[in-house]
Structure 1
Amino acid sequence: MPEFITKTFNENQTLSTATFSKCFKYRYSLTKKFNTGKGKLLFILLNPSKATEKVYDATIIRCEKRSKLLAYKQFRVCNLFAFRSTKPTELKKVSNPVGSLNNMFLKTSIKWSDKIICSWGRFGTLHKRDVEVIQIIKKYRTPVFHLGLTKNNQPKHLLYISYNKILTKWL
């Protein structure tokens, strides 16, 4: 019996798929596939909030728009931490903010993608998770980019970056 649940939703020629833990406290991935474009773009962010396969938040909307501007057919969002929370500070209070299957979904998604945009912001250093995920990313040959770096050399979160910002090669 799988330890996760995958839900899909199809609307306006866009297929949306989200994979959660059975308890729905963790979201391991969210993928949207359009009827135009080429390639697969992976965003690696900090943690999911309340977005699902049907309901999107501001971050998922930004990912979708950036994906379309870059002419991708589909994008996926994975995170350093799979725990669902609207406040990054909550990650400090949870015993397992990463989620038991998160690394597996990260690896699968990295292999799936043609390009990665890392955009987890300043909280990525929590539990040295940034270091762990960067080591995972480096095992693959997928090109990695960011949209700017914080003072601590963490990839800035895309929610606060203009669509005009050009991707910068990273790693």
Structure 2
Amino acid sequence: MNATESISIKAEANISDCGKYRYWLSRIWDESKPIGCFICINPSKATAIYSDQTMGNCNNLAAAWGWGGFYIVNLFAFMATDQSDLKKQRDKVGPLNNKAIKYICEKSDVLVLAWGNEYKSRAREVLSLLVDKNLFCIQRNKGGGFLHPNRIKYENFPQPVSVDIG
């Protein structure tokens, strides 16, 4: 006999009216469990319906860690699949990104820093929004930055991390 597994997943993407900025993305399947938040560099083209590699990896990590879902926010809200496009953009952050980061991080139980080594000045700005929060990372990379979800294994669990915003 076969068993059928079924689950409802609430998927959201908060995208600017102009379509250039994505402020957050989420997949929530069990609100009785912890909800995590990955803080990455910038969004690509994933939406509420379309998943990319990062979205799939975050989904699998969240499930492996026993979470009931997750959010993704980014240092920069400008959507770009190529980092060179991000670097050329004048307003990478987006007009509502800091507000969105604070809002989503308030709703999340676990905050995972995952933005790599670059953009140290912007990283300090974002960390200043999170001064009262318990912060985690999966692993540090060779340069001391925080590994991105596409570069970690499912058996690695988030560990508390202390950061200096000075």
TM-score norm. by structure 2 comes to: 0.88
Per-residue CA shift, 1:35-65, capped at 9, x if unaligned?
Answer: 4760211110010001000000000101111
Mapped to 1, the partners of 2:66 and 2:115 lie a distance apart of 22
Match of 2:129 in 1: 136
Secondary structure of residue in 2 paired with 1:42: strand
Mapped to 2, the partners of 1:61 and 1:34 lie a distance apart of 14
| Structure 1 vs Structure 2 CA RMSD | 1.6
Structure 1 position 115, deviation (Å)? 0.7
Per-residue CA shift, 1:120-143, capped at 9, x if unaligned?
Answer: 113343xx11111111111x33x2
* Structure 1 runs, 4 residues or longer, greater than 3 Å off: none
Q: Which amino acid aligns with 2:23?
A: Y
Native 8 Å contact 1:29 1:105 kept in 2: yes
Secondary structure of residue in 2 paired with 1:62: helix
Native 8 Å contact 1:124 1:154 kept in 2: no
- Would the alpha carbon gap of residues 135 and 35 (structure 1) be closer, same or farther in structure 2, given more than 3 Å must change? closer
Mapped to 2, the partners of 1:152 and 1:74 lie a distance apart of 29
Deviates more, 1:52-61 or 1:69-78: 69-78
Structure 1 position 168, deviation (Å)? 2.0
Structure with the bigger percentage of strand: 1
Larger Rg: 2
Q: Quick one: which of 55, 59, 80 aligns to 1:64?
A: 59
| Count of matched residue pairs | 157
Per-residue CA shift, 1:65-102, capped at 9, x if unaligned?
Answer: 11111111121000000000011222210010010100
Mapped to 1, the partners of 2:88 and 2:50 lie a distance apart of 26
Question: Structure 1 stretches of 5 or more lacking a match?
Answer: 1-10
Q: Which amino acid aligns with 2:24?
A: S
| Fraction of identical pairs, as percent | 31
Q: Which amino acid aligns with 1:163?
A: Y
